[in-house]
A and B are shown apart, each in its own frame.
Chain A
Amino acid sequence: MRKFLLQGLTSRPLIEAAPLPADPAVEELGRALQARLRGGLGRSLTIRAVDAGSCNGCELEIHALANPFYDLERFGLHFAASPRHADVLLVTGPVTRNMAEALRRSYAATPDPKWVVSAGDCARDGGCFAGSPAILGGVGAVVPVDLHIPGCPPSPTALLQGLLALLERAATGA
């Protein structure tokens, strides 16, 4: 193990430059956040991921955000184990009937001020599962959504763009 750690000291970091926030995401977010933002968050956001019915594809890319290429913690973004510690709920999937109550409770357990980011095409309007009686629709059908990140699944870069946009707004609006 020592060899591994020493090599880590001498090799170049893999980390990528921060992606620029995508314009549509910033736009969509701007109005929603300005109206709702209260109090300072510093330069950090704590995220609670909630799978409300996804196929698990979106989760894989959310996981990838933590790998050394994207390393989201360098932006002050990190994932919490409980919605009670979160500023942001990152919700994936269409909301299934069987998960609606759990999502509502996660939202209620998140302290104000809070934001909801829906990630993945399913989370917008049910995506390819729209119309199924087993789902209620997109995330917006159950809790208010501030920002949507499209993709099936959204790439880590797309997720990062969306979350950074949220962070910028939270910092400047404070």
Chain B
Amino acid sequence: MDLTPLSNADLRTAPLRRDHCTLSDWSSACAALDAGRLTLLALWGEAAAVRMALLDEGARRIGLLTLPAETAFPSVGRHHPPAQRLERAVADLWGLVPAGAPDARPWLGHGAPYPFLPVEGDSLHQVPVGPVHAGIIEPGHFRFTAQGETVVRLEERLGYVHKGIEALMTGAVLARGAELAGRTSGDSCVAYQWAFAQAAEAGLACPAPPRAEHIRAVLAELERLANHLGDIGAICNDAAFAMMLAQCSILREGLLRATATAFGHRMGKDVIAPGGVSRDLTPEGVAAIRAALTAVAARLPRLVALYDGTASLQDRTVGTGRLSPALARQFGAGGFVGRAAGRSFDTRRSLPYGPYAELSFVVPARDEGDVNARVWLRIEEAQASLGLLDQLLSGLPGGPVQSGLVPSGPAEGIGLVEGFRGDVFVHLALGPDGRIARCHLRDPSWFQWPLLEAAIEGNIIADFPLCNKSFNCSYSGHDL
């Protein structure tokens, strides 16, 4: 399978060509996915076409296929299960039917009664949970089929927070697109706004100034660190170890306050915009961030020791919710979910952007794939982010933070940014008037949610909150 000639280097700086592929290209891509030679990065619909982004992990290259389609297209999910939910979403949103698809049920559209998969067997019972959950989390439905206490199948039903984000994007000006991108999954607002900006800048061949890229990376690492700390605490809390949540949330709050001091918003929302950043980083901002980082660096090792040394906590996390490396690889699972199960892919290292190529950092990886491995991944990534932030803050280049980008069209570009949860993919097409003709945002959760179904199998229902939190997939980013 020959990928569209996009090298690793020009991916984020070059506008995309819009070539149509043939049916046979499409089927050879399906075969390559099936054989594990390529990884599915995204699959989405648009007016009269369906598109697929593919990753060649060995060659570190991304390819894009565009298949003209009026009403139907040959199903990819038939050969490659990770594509199934994406195709169902294409059918819901664009009316393009994946021909030959093994699962024809709607996914994001909730108009009609939903037939759950049939279950057969002795002494099975079902436990429906959600969409409104007991905790303060996003809505989604989980249908557990259990034998005694043991889960024999979990079936997820998502789409409850579908807001029509991609439809709102169409026809919008870039600034409005950036606003929506930052509100696709609130916990990853920086990653989304960066990926969106990247796509615009690549399409218009107008890169952001180096200082802006550095500031973006500062924001992205702060976001990663804050989320990892919050989630390490929350996972332990789901194993009834509340002290860890309290301690981690103190550190998280310190980071959010520093972000507010430096950037005017606790989560750094709306700082990144196509063309650069809307706010420069002042010496006072740097000092506030440094102070928060010092506090984290001082306290984190003690929290890690606490996690490592509490046998009752380890008893809950070790061996729980195990994800097999084969599945992680097949689904191209990003972030700590993939890296805790042997798939060592991190956009920052594998397809570097912004300042990451010049920075030194470790990308931790493990093979066990259980809750414990995911917790450790979070810990090690948090430590890596501390190191990255130190390098970034000491090496801030001077110069402007805006490139003065002028939207014009037609133009197309791709953005791919490592959010705390995994790689956020954005495809952006601008029309002749410089307005958004089509924007597709693919959350890493698309390839992680299905794996949660696999990881929970054989565990007890009572361990589901722990498993779910250790994945921490986004509902909103997925439901769009």
Across the interface, which residues of B come within 8 angstroms of A125, CB to CB? Answer: none
Q: Which of A47-88 contact B (CB under 8 A)?
A: 49-64, 66-69, 79, 81-83
Q: Are B161 and A79 in touch, CB under 8 angstroms?
A: no
Verify B164–A135 contact, CB threshold 8 A.
Answer: yes
Of A14, A49, A131, which one neighbours B136 at CB under 8 angstroms?
A49
Q: A63-B230, A152-B269 are in contact. Are A98 and B161 (CB under 8 A)?
A: yes
Cβ–Cβ contact B162 & A106, under 8 A = no
Is there an interface contact between B132 and A79, defined as CB atoms closer than 8 Å?
Answer: no
Q: Is B455 an interface residue (CB 8 A)?
A: no
Q: How far is the CB of A18 from chain B (nearest CB, A)?
A: 17
Say yes or no for B184: interface residue by CB 8 A criterion: yes
CA distance A4 to B168 in the complex (A): 50
21 A-B residue pairs with CB within 8 Å: A4-B243, A51-B137, A55-B184, A55-B185, A56-B138, A56-B474, A60-B186, A62-B136, A67-B246, A67-B250, A68-B249, A96-B160, A98-B160, A98-B161, A102-B132, A102-B160, A106-B132, A129-B168, A133-B164, A134-B163, A152-B269
Q: Does B266 contact A (CB under 8 A)?
A: yes
Q: CB distance A98 to B246 under 8 Å?
A: no
A residues apposed to B, CB below 8 Å: 1, 4-5, 14, 49-64, 66-69, 79, 81-83, 93-94, 96-99, 102, 106, 122, 128-129, 131-135, 152-153, 155
Indicate if the CB atoms of B163 and A53 lie closer than 8 Å: yes
B322 within 8 A of A: no
Provide the residues of chain A in CB contact with B249, threshold 8 Å: 63-64, 66-68
> Nearest residue in A to B108 (C-beta to C-beta)?
A98
Measured CB to CB, the closest approach of chain B to A161, in angstroms, equals 16
User: Contact at A129–B136, with CB atoms within 8 Å?
Assistant: no
Which residues of B from 411 to 447 have beta carbons under 8 Å from A? none
User: Which residues of A are found within 8 Å of B476, using beta-carbon distances?
Assistant: 53-56
Please name all residues of chain A whose beta carbon is closer than 8 Å to the beta carbon of B269 when the two chains form the complex.
57, 152
Q: Which residues of B contact A63 (CB under 8 A)?
A: 136, 230, 234, 249
Q: A55-B183, A81-B134, A152-B269 are in contact. Are A64 and B256 (CB under 8 A)?
A: yes
Contact: A96 with B163, CB < 8 Å?
Answer: yes
Bound Cα distance from A8 to B132, whole angstroms: 35
In whole angstroms, what is the CA distance A42 to B452 when docked? 43
Query: Which 9 pairs of residues, A with B, have the shortest CB-CB distance?
Result: A57-B186, A134-B164, A81-B134, A67-B249, A132-B164, A55-B186, A98-B110, A56-B186, A49-B136
Q: Assess A1 versus B309: contact at CB under 8 Å? Given A56-B475, A98-B110, A128-B179.
A: yes
Known: A56-B474, A68-B250. 6 other contacts (CB 8 A): A67-B250, A94-B163, A98-B160, A102-B139, A132-B167, A153-B186
- The answer to whether A99 touches B310, judged by C-beta atoms less than 8 angstroms apart, is no
B332 contacts partner chain A, Cβ-Cβ < 8 Å: no
A131, closest chain B residue (CB): B168
CA distance A81 to B310 in the complex (A): 28
Partner of B162, one of A98, A122, A152: A98
Query: Which B residues touch A69, using CB under 8 A?
Result: 250, 253
A57-B189 in contact given A67-B253, A98-B159, A129-B163 (Cβ < 8 Å):
yes
Q: How far is the CA of A87 from the CA of B179 in the complex (A)?
A: 34
Residues of B within 8 A of A83 (CB): 132
Cβ of A12 to closest chain B Cβ, rounded Å: 13
> Is there a chain A Cβ closer than 8 Å to B89's Cβ?
no
Say how far A170's CB is from chain B's closest CB, in angstroms: 21
B180 at the interface (CB under 8 A from A): yes
A69 to chain B, nearest CB (A): 5
With both chains docked as a complex, state the minimum distance between the C-beta of A122 and any C-beta of chain B, in angstroms: 8
